[in-house]
Amino acid sequence: MTIRGHRDVTAEAVGAYYDQITEFIDGDLGGSFHVGYWAGLPYGTPVQEAAQRMTALMIDKLAVRPGQRVLDVGCGTGRPALELARSTGAEVVGVNVSRRQLDLAERNAAEAGLTERVRFEFADATDLPYPAESFDGVWLFESLFHMPDQAKVLRQLAEVLRPGGRLVIADLVQLVPLTEEQNQELRETWALNSIAAIHPLVSYPALLAESGLELVESLDITEDSLRGTFRGLQAEHDAYVAANGELPEEADAGVDNGWAKLAVTPEIGYAVVVAGKPSPTVGG
């Protein structure tokens, strides 16, 4: 059963949420607003390095080539999009509903000298302003859970994706059903983080098929991502407190935003899901 989070999540609410928290958590993850990937990393590896490895994993799964065009839905401050363009030679369009994050993304693109290949635009994933079959790849990097009508979003993304293209999703997933008591305990987390819905990992094949996409790969990386990131953050914060006495107020606010509770909820996990848009059948 899909977790139905906060009932009042809207694009405007999500935009306001990120306008507010961006400055708090920007430093912890090195400007990349997603968890890290810790597989094979030794204890004590900086969280920022693990966050960069998660970006690298997403780039690998997207498998785009120079000159191809990618849509980044919920682009944050743009760092994953910039790394994608830099490492693959692809053109990237990032969309977001946070004006503050778009401002920072445009600044980061200018500093990286990538404004000719990476641009950022204000757009709602439920009403994309792009023609059909205009992108070779699409990714949603921890943004799908903000969207109440995820099936509608996936149908739109399938429409703008060219045949043979890939969609890659990194997102919270439900590993086993929550009890009603657990769901009630997490109500504040759903509201605080504008979480609209979290699908069971096992439901993705059907969800994608309804959108005209085919599952390519499904990776449960919970221990090496969600859990590992908060272990890493806690270790870094403990080291800071040991050296300085206490955390800065803004750092404490950035971490204690409800995600820490998700990281210790066994029923909640994290996965990377890869899908493809089938090419038309010859003669069909």
Q: Return the active site residues.
A: 142
Q: For residue 198, which of 141, 147, 156, 247 has the smallest C-alpha distance? A: 147
Alpha-carbon distance values, 110 to 22, 29, 90, 118, 199 (Å): 19, 21, 17, 9, 37
Q: What is residue 267's three-state secondary structure? A: coil
Q: Could you give the C-alpha distances from 281 to 127, 158, 163, 276, in angstroms and in order?
A: 29, 17, 11, 14
CB distance 5 to 195 below 8 Å: yes
36 near 229, Cβ under 8 Å? yes
Amino acid at 214: E
Element (H, E) at 183: helix 180-185
Residue 218: CA count within 13 A, CB half-sphere = 15
